[in-house]
Amino acid sequence: MEAIFGSLWLPCLICFVAGIVLLVTELCLPGFGLAGCTGIVCFLAVIVMQYLTNSPTAATLVSAVMAAIIVLLVVVFVRSINHGALFRSPIVLKDRIDGEATSVSDGKNTELIGKTGIVETTLRPCGTVLIDGKRYTVKAQASFVEKGSTVTVAAVEGLDILVE
């Protein structure tokens, strides 16, 4: 090993293995945190040690091997997210909100058109209005409506209840 990787082959090997372990750990944890940064620093330390004690050719060889390992880890990680254990993991969000999940999309708020309510918070232009004993977050067509004023629901557009 010393003939190929120079006099610092053991620290290089330790940093290399530690870098791989830390990057695999980072792939399994959410976020870009301490483990991933430390793994990258370990890889950079191996490259610097090879460049200083052996030769630029050995450093280039080590860099190529590290790049291949990183690419392999990313491929395994992406495949695992799509089909493997990470897909079934609780850290991967599988829930989604579609258009039918909201009360507005199924037409429940369309019956409010034409009803009047009392402004509970000043509308600048958004605020809260009490209509038939229920609070709604609304958007005023005017830029400002004072608290206590009476407003009428003019339209329902998507998630917005427009009052005038």
Query: What per-residue confidence (pLDDT) applies to 60?
Result: 82
Strand 126-131 relative to strand 134-140, pairing:
antiparallel
Q: How many domains does the chain have?
A: 2
Least confident range from 70-74, 103-107, 125-129, 132-136: namely 103-107
> pTM here?
0.45
What tokens does 144 get? 């400002």
- Kindly state whether residue 95 falls inside one of the protein's structural domains: no
Percentage of the chain modeled with pLDDT above 90 = 21
Q: Both 18 and 74 in a single domain?
A: yes
- Kindly state whether residue 93 falls inside one of the protein's structural domains: no
Confidence band, pLDDT 50/70/90 cuts, at residue 104: very low
Question: Beta-carbon neighbour count of residue 49 at 10 Å?
Answer: 22
Q: Both 112 and 73 in a single domain?
A: no
The type of residue at 84 is G
Euclidean distance between CA atoms 163 and 118, whole angstroms: 11
Can you give the residue range of the structural domain that contains 80?
Answer: 2-88
Q: Both 146 and 83 in a single domain?
A: no
Dump pLDDT digits (tens) for 117-141. 999 999 998 999 999 889 999 999 8
> Between 99 and 157, whose confidence is greater?
157
Residue 164 has pLDDT above 50, yes or no: yes
Domain boundary among the residues 65, 88, 111 is at 88
